[in-house]
Amino acid sequence: MIAAIGLIGALALLIFMTVRGVNILIAGPVAAAVVALTSGIAWLPPLASGGAPDYATTYMAGFTGFFADWFFMFLLGAIFGEVMRVSGAAESVARWIVGTIGIRHAVLAVVGACALLTYGGVSVFIVAFSVYPLAVPLFRQADLPRRFIPAALAFGSVTFTMTSAGSPEIQNLIPMQYLGTTAYAGWQVSLIVAILMASLGYWWLQRMVRRAVARGERFESRPSDEQVEGAEADERPLPHPLLCLLPLAAVLAVFMAFQYPQSLGALSAMLPAQSLDKWALVVALSAGTVIAMLIGLRERARMPGAFSVGATGAVVAITNTCAVVGFGAVATLSPAFQQALEMVRDLPGDPLIGAAIAVTVIAGLTGSASGGQTIALPLIAPHYLGAGADPAELHRTVAIASGALDSLPHNGYVVTTIRAICGETHQAAYGPVGALTVAVPVIGLAVALLLFALF
């Protein structure tokens, strides 16, 4: 009982601290310490008897393990995004989408720009930074409440694109190393679910915006707007938008080629016989970065700075995620966690349902889709594969499930987007964000489970 109270209380404390602005590198270890205290876990290795696990070693094992596995992907993703931004390619693509769709569909323009960049391999953190300066004037011209900008950014980045088949985001790649699948696992169901989530989420977002406008909410300018827009809206000539799509297309094409080398016919002899799994993303992002640099040659003097900023951003992003993975690693030692996991694994019926519940809960506990998968899959994959679950179906179920409760208020991306990028408060902006990034993926997950059961 004490362990269960401690686990729930630690999660509540973690959410409270992050919402209040406490750095996740502090909040994570503190919340994990509460779990250790209430679960009888020794604080330090010398205090652990008989080789039992301890708080410090377990937390750092989770922290450094995730860092070692995914640092290169974070690094290349962040650098690619920065090069796209500095070259003007990201802005050109986003402005092209805005111009094509029109001011009457300002919300759709922001969502579409985020979706294209995310599915093109740009890190979700970089996408938010890139599109926000364009969303501000767009919402101003349409006179829409700016508190919905975080929701539009998040919906286009971390829902129907992030966990869909073929997505080069790591949330779609992590299951491959545990299940022996490819990034396109379960693509038929994934396509249907992605269309459903995109349609439902956009309708819901538009409805929330219209109701807010009907209540009299309008765009409220801030002194910082001119500086934000000026950083990207200078008079420099931008590359042609169709040319700027080449880096995104290259990431997807190279990624797919290394996932399915046999599909290239005679050219396949130049590639490894087997899929490179997550390392294919490193090759793909490298190719996209080179092309983006060629497109932005006129900005070559700024490229070293882009690499530096991207590297720094990658370290910040991955360490924030590592902080909650470390918390999750300690949480898995709690007797309450183990009892809950056993209950979920022993659920009768379709093993996909048990896997979905387990990943959803763990992703919510850690506040991270990627962190939740990293913790959950080693524990559940052997069990559910042994129970007869199809690896491709399990991959897609786990990916979609990880993108639901991960977006609770303490999620690193949510905190960064709402507070650091958009300058909003959780009170004003999290309602729409939660509806679109928690409720919509949960509905998509239910539909995916139904489709897998039927077909």
Higher pLDDT, 190 or 329: 190
- Per-residue confidence (pLDDT) for residue 52, from 0 to 100: 85
- Per-residue confidence (pLDDT) for residue 267, from 0 to 100: 45
Cβ neighbours for 27, distance < 8 A, ≥ 6 positions apart: 13, 14, 17, 18, 323, 410
Closest CA to 146 of 446, 421, 379, 441: 421
Cα–Cα distance measured from residue 367 to residue 354, given in angstroms and rounded to the nearest whole number:
20
Which residue segment(s) compose the domain that 445 sits in?
A: 2-454
Residue 233 pLDDT more than 60? Answer: no
Phi, psi of 54 (to 5 degrees): -130, 165
188-211 tens-digit pLDDT: 999 999 999 999 999 999 999 999
**Count of CB atoms within 10 A of residue 174's CB?**
28
- Average pLDDT taken over every residue of the chain: 84
Q: What percent of the chain has pLDDT over 90?
A: 30
- Per-residue confidence (pLDDT) for residue 271, from 0 to 100: 47
For 13, 123, 161, 302, 405, the CA distances from 201, given in Å and listed in that order, are: 30, 21, 12, 38, 16
234-251 tens-digit pLDDT: 556 788 888 888 888 888
State the average pLDDT over residues 413-432. Answer: 84
Q: Hey, what are 393's tokens?
A: 């179906």
Task: Give the count of domains, the chain.
Answer: 1
**Count of CB atoms within 10 A of residue 450's CB?**
11
pLDDT-derived band at 276 (thresholds 50, 70, 90) equals low
State CA 300 to chain mean position distance: 30
56-74 tens-digit pLDDT: 999 999 899 888 887 888 7
Cα–Cα distance measured from residue 280 to residue 206, given in angstroms and rounded to the nearest whole number:
37
Q: Hey, what are 159's tokens?
A: 């829902």
- Per-residue confidence (pLDDT) for residue 160, from 0 to 100: 92
Residue 90 pLDDT more than 60? Answer: yes
Cα–Cα distance measured from residue 342 to residue 284, given in angstroms and rounded to the nearest whole number:
39
Type of residue numbered 454: L
Q: Tabulate helix, strand, coil % of the chain (nearest 5).
A: 80, 0, 20
- Per-residue confidence (pLDDT) for residue 103, from 0 to 100: 67
pLDDT-derived band at 444 (thresholds 50, 70, 90) equals very high
Tell me how long the chain is: 455
Cβ neighbours for 414, distance < 8 A, ≥ 6 positions apart: 154, 407, 408, 430, 433, 437
DSSP string computed for 101-124: H-GGGHHHHHHHHHHHHHHTT--H
- Per-residue confidence (pLDDT) for residue 169, from 0 to 100: 83
**Count of CB atoms within 10 A of residue 45's CB?**
13
Q: Which of 24-38, 119-133, 298-312, 362-376 has the highest mean pLDDT?
A: 24-38
Residue 334 pLDDT more than 60? Answer: yes
Higher pLDDT, 335 or 236: 335
Q: What is the pTM of this model?
A: 0.77
State the average pLDDT over residues 264-268. Answer: 47
Calculate ∠ Cα 436-193-176, nearest 5°: 100
Residue 121 pLDDT more than 80? Answer: no
**Count of CB atoms within 10 A of residue 52's CB?**
12
